[in-house]
Amino acid sequence: MSVSELQNDIIKKLLTIEDGETLSFFKEMLNTYTSKKNYQVSDLEKNLTSESLEAYKNGNTLTSETVYKRNEEWLKE
């Protein structure tokens, strides 16, 4: 698929989206890409990353299998 075909395909799909939150998300992504600025990590993201790293260092991890089993259980509820 050529670049122009990809662009047209994306435009057609965007025109079908009526959810403002989703469109705002795409707009923000495009603005970030076209502005050539680096993504700015929020304080919340920094805190979550630090907490996750600390939990990992302390051995508080789960296997993929455990996570999948938990998700399956949760979806059954």
For tokens 């508080």, what's the residue?
60
pLDDT at 57: 96
| Residue spans per domain, the chain | 1-39, 41-77
> Model pTM?
0.42
CA distance 37 to 4: 25
For tokens 């509820």, what's the residue?
77
Give per-residue pLDDT as tens, 26-50.
Answer: 998 888 778 777 778 899 999 999 9
